[in-house]
Amino acid sequence: MDHTEAIFQLILHGGNARSLAMEAIAFAKNKDMAGAQQALDRAADELTKAHHNQTALIQKEVAGDKLELSMLLIHAQDHLMNAMTIKDLAAEFVEMYGQIHQSKGAGV
């Protein structure tokens, strides 16, 4: 895989993870906790794929195949970090919605 393809894979998998994390929040808001957890799990899988691509780029650079710093690479890294943050926050929202729905069901 060349540098450009690896960079686009970071963007793809980061974007997928972000979308799935937002989907998890929507599922939880609508009391579908199983759907929320499944979306979070899929987001984690997408982040793992992105990390593999990121690691490949780092390994190439360490091996002497220098990667030119470009706006595309910066965008890809920004996309990935944003997705990681949103996924972590989504997990908190899912847990919070679960507690809210549980307390409302208990009549509290």
Q: Is 45 annotated for ligand binding?
A: no
Residue 90 contacts residue 21 (beta carbons within 8 Å): yes
Catalytic residue among 13, 51, 52, 75: 75
Is 51 tagged catalytic? no
CA angle 64, 48, 91 (to 5 degrees): 140
Residues carrying an active site annotation: 75
Which residue numbers belong to the known binding site for Mg(2+)?
A: 78
Which residue numbers belong to the known binding site?
A: 78
